[in-house]
């Protein structure tokens, strides 16, 4: 039986920029902060890390820096998705060569795919590497969603470890749990869904909010894994206003704005992402203050 690549809370790391360039010193400091907070996994070059705007040399530098800082203490998972299967394979192979412990592969976007195409896409990627592959289902961004039947077909591949589920579709999540063997794992891709998905047997969360509140997100996952669902629910509800403020504009605009307020990074974004609207920024700051987020 396959083991999950990780259980608990994996942090989807932001990519700090300064004057248009990747700020590797700030990035390494963020990785160390996560290690100090006992993150269960680190995810680099994914959505929260603004992967679509990263040049190949920047991707390689970020993955290498993350692997070096982690020093095998926790799994490092690299985002390697593309709507071009050959490109996704190349990115996945590069991540493996750079020392990543797994890859996170989003469903093809824009050109999309049929369910048969999704199976062929993911099978080709999983055949090309020796690393565990985590699928990433986020139809709000890609315009395509996997079905439970597709998950069941892909679960038979020995290199496919599970899925980061960010559809918010709990009927799909339940059907997937019923159709797939116990070693096809589900991670919440939405911070707000963490407790509910883990109550259905999820392995954890791949979290944006953990950039800001790593200890609390890890505690939330720990409570779920220990069966303390009432306590987890209380903590999840306490987070509601903060989490909604962190996603009131396109991710990662709010999380980088919040981190800049704490002096953790510059908050700089790459177009087409732009500065947060003033009214939403004030909402975010108010939610941070009410929650007690401090530098």
- Candidates 122, 136, 185, 291; catalytic one: 136
The Cα–Cα gap between 70 and 293 comes to: 25
- Candidates 151, 164, 185, 256; catalytic one: 164
Query: CA–CA distance from 254 to each of 216, 233, 262, 277, 286 (Å)?
Result: 18, 24, 13, 10, 13
How deeply is 181 buried, as exposed, middle or buried, from its count of CB atoms within 10 A (0-12, 13-18, 19+)?
exposed
Q: Is 291 a catalytic residue?
A: no
Q: Is 294 a catalytic residue?
A: no
Contact 9, 205 (CB under 8 A): yes
Which residues belong to the active site? 136, 164
């Amino acid at each position: 039986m396959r083991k999950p690549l990780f259980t608990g809370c994996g942090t989807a790391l932001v990519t700090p920029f300064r004057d248009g360039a990747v700020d590797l010193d700030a990035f390494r400091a963020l990785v160390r902060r996560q290690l100090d907070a006992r993150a269960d996994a680190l995810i680099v070059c994914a959505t929260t890390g603004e992967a679509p705007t990263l040049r190949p040399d920047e991707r390689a530098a970020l993955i290498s820096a993350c692997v070096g800082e982690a020093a095998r203490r926790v799994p490092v998972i690299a985002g390697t998705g593309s709507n071009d299967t050959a490109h996704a394979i190349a990115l996945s192979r590069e991540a493996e060569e750079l020392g990543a412990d797994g890859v996170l592969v989003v469903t093809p976007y824009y050109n999309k795919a049929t369910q048969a195409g999704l199976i062929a896409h993911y099978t080709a990627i999983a055949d090309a590497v020796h690393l565990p592959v985590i699928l990433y289902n986020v139809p709000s961004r890609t315009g395509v969603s996997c079905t439970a039947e597709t998950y069941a077909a892909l679960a038979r591949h020995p290199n496919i470890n599970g899925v980061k589920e960010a559809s918010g579709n709990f009927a799909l999540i339940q059907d997937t749990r019923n159709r797939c063997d116990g070693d096809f794992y589900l991670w919440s891709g939405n911070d707000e869904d963490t407790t509910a998905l883990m109550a259905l047997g999820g392995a954890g969360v791949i979290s944006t909010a953990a950039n800001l509140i790593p200890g609390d997100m890890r505690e939330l996952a720990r409570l779920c894994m220990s069966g303390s669902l009432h306590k987890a629910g209380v903590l999840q509800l306490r987070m509601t206003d903060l989490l909604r403020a962190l996603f009131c504009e396109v991710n990662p605009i709010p999380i980088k704005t919040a981190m800049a307020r704490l002096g953790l990074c510059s908050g700089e974004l790459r177009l087409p992402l732009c500065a947060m609207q003033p009214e939403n920024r004030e909402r975010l700051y108010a939610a941070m203050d009410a929650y007690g987020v401090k530098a």
